[in-house]
């Protein structure tokens, strides 16, 4: 089986991953008192990643 074959993804999985990247991880970073610049770097990578789904 060709591993590069694009299969149709489930939209629900995409939504769950986006919520995790945009909501759950930043809340967790805030709970463990991560410095603000780390949270901003996370957001800078998470937003394009979530939009690419």
What residues contact residue 17 under an 8 Å CB cut-off, 6+ apart?
Answer: 50, 53
Contact call for residues 41 and 24 (beta carbons, < 8 A): no
**What is the pTM assigned to this prediction?**
0.69
* pLDDT tens profile 12-45: 888 898 899 899 999 999 999 999 999 899 989 9
Query: What pLDDT, on the 0 to 100 scale, is given for residue 2?
Result: 54
What's the pLDDT tens digit per position in 1-15? Answer: 555 556 667 888 888
pLDDT number for residue 5: 57
Residue-level pLDDT at 11:
84
């Amino acid at each position: 089986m060709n591993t590069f074959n694009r299969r149709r993804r489930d939209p629900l999985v995409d939504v769950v991953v986006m919520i995790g990247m945009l909501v759950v991880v930043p809340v967790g970073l805030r709970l463990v008192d991560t410095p603000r610049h780390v949270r901003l770097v996370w957001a800078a990578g998470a937003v394009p990643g979530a939009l690419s789904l």
